[in-house]
A and B are shown apart, each in its own frame.
Chain A
Amino acid sequence: MDKKQDQTFDIIEVCLLAGKIMLRGGAETYRVEDTMMRIAAAYGIYHSHSYVTPTGIIFSIDSHHPTKLVRIVDRSTNLQKVAKVNSVSRLISSGDLTVKEALEQLKEIERDALAYPTWVQIAAASISSGCFLIMFQGDWTDFLPALLTGGIGFSCLIYFHQLVEIKFFAEFLASLIIGLISVLFVVFNIGTELDKIIIGSVMPLVPGLLITNAVRDLMAGHLVSGISKGAEAFLTAFAIGAGVAIVFSF
Chain B
Amino acid sequence: MLIEQFITSFIATAAFGIIFSAPAKTLLKCGFVGMIGWMIYLILYQYKMDSVLATLFASFIIAVISHFFAKKYKTPVIIFNVSGIIPLVPGGLAYDAMRQVVENDFNAAIPLAAKAFMISGAIAIGLVLSEVMNQIIRKASLRKI
A residues contacting B by CB (< 8 A) are 26-28, 31, 77-83, 86-87, 90, 114-116, 120-121, 124-125, 127-128, 131-132, 134-136, 198-199, 202-204, 206-209, 211-212, 214-216, 219-220, 237-238, 240-242, 244-245, 248-249
| Contacting pair A209 B22 (CB below 8 A) | no
Residue of B whose beta carbon sits closest to that of A87: B74
If A212-B85, A241-B98 touch, does A83 touch B91 (CB 8 Å cutoff)?
no
| Contacting pair A211 B12 (CB below 8 A) | no
Kindly name the residue among B19, B38, B85, B103 whose own CB sees the greatest number of chain A CB atoms within 10 A. B19
| Contacting pair A248 B22 (CB below 8 A) | no
Count of chain B residues near A, Cβ 8 A:
48
Q: How far is the CB of B132 from chain A (nearest CB, A)?
A: 11
Chain A residues closer than 8 Å to B94, beta-carbon distance: 206-208, 211, 237
| Contacting pair A216 B19 (CB below 8 A) | no
List 17 extra interface pairs beyond A31-B76, A127-B11, CB under 8 A. Answer: A27-B78, A77-B19, A77-B21, A78-B21, A79-B76, A83-B22, A124-B19, A199-B91, A203-B92, A206-B91, A207-B94, A208-B86, A209-B85, A238-B102, A241-B98, A241-B101, A248-B99
If A31-B76, A237-B94 touch, does A124 touch B16 (CB 8 Å cutoff)?
yes
Chain B residues closer than 8 Å to A90, beta-carbon distance: 74
B residues contacting A by CB (< 8 A) are 4-5, 8-9, 11-12, 15-24, 26, 38, 74-76, 78-79, 82, 85-87, 89-92, 94-99, 101-103, 116, 120-121, 123-125, 127-128
| Contacting pair A79 B95 (CB below 8 A) | no
Complex: how many Å from CA A78 to CA B74? 18
